[in-house]
Amino acid sequence: MIFSTELLVQTVLSGLMVGVLYALMALGITFIYSIVKTINWAMGEFYMIGSYIQFVAVHYVLGARWWWLAAIISAAGTFLIGLILEPILIKPMYARPMQRRDDYATVVTIALLLLLRSLAVALGGPNQYRPESDLPVVWIGPLPQEGARVAAFVCALLALGIFWIVIKKTWVGLALRAAAQNRLAVQTSGVDVYRLDAIAFAIGVALAGLSGALLAPLFMVFPTNGAVTTVKGFEIIVIGGLGSIPGALIGGLLLGLVESLGAAFVSSPYQNVYGFLLVILVLIIRPNGLFGERGREA
């Protein structure tokens, strides 16, 4: 392959854009783990739900011009679903005596994964859909970029900015950060920690739903479209460190860059392999991830 500066710049830009969207998924996973102390294995299905809501809203209700409003509706819809499901599925893990909470959470979220995927097949069939997009090609300097990709990138940055403001500048964010550090201390201070769990779970799955909505015009809509994205989310968590929000962001950008550069300059059919190679390299150098902390031992 002939190397050129323009190709390199375009590849880096494309990788960064996709990396930010990957980071949304990983941020949702690691944020839920930070507060609720469990991994939600059904995150890909919330990504899938967000993409379906985006398609239905754009194709049947709003039209291509209002794609951004459909993305907001997708995020809000998955937020409400998460807010409803968390007290039913996750709250019993803390509300009643339980010795093996991790096993309980794993079984429950995998069961939720299978349920949501089966519902998607039953309601929408195995067909692939793509929400309409009237976004024109955007020229960044001398380089063209797909309009839907640029719009998704900008919306993802806005979502990350809103997330930062909520976590750093609001009372709810302060309570969530406190719960991430010490659940017992927050509970003894009179804060309803179960309510915080529901909010954290809902925010996490809303980030996944927004990611699915924004990527729907690029990666299609079908019942298993969240599977690959979930794998990439966990790759990012391994790279950045479980429970680290900065790690999720940096890991997403690194994964997007590695996949994009590998596909452009090595071989595109092996695009997903490059991410696994990065994971292996990080595990060799830093087994806890780039921003992960070593667990304390008694």
This prediction has a pTM of 0.88
- Residue-number span of the structural domain to which 72 is assigned: 12-225
Place of tokens 């998924």: 25
Distance of CA 20 to the CA centre of its chain: 10
Is 246 a domain residue?
Answer: no
Domain count, the chain: 1
Is 208 a domain residue?
Answer: yes
140 versus 111: which is more confidently predicted?
A: 111
- Most confident by average pLDDT, 69-83, 220-234, 275-289: 69-83
Is 4 a domain residue?
Answer: no
281 versus 271: which is more confidently predicted?
A: 281
Please tell me the distance from the alpha carbon of residue 123 to that of residue 117, in angstroms, as a whole number.
10
Q: What is the pLDDT of residue 271?
A: 81
Please write the tens of the pLDDT for every residue from 9-57: 778 888 888 888 888 888 988 899 888 888 888 998 999 999 999 999 9
Is 247 a domain residue?
Answer: no
Please write the tens of the pLDDT for every residue from 169-218: 898 889 898 888 888 888 888 888 889 999 999 999 999 999 999 989 88
Is 271 a domain residue?
Answer: no
Is 287 a domain residue?
Answer: no
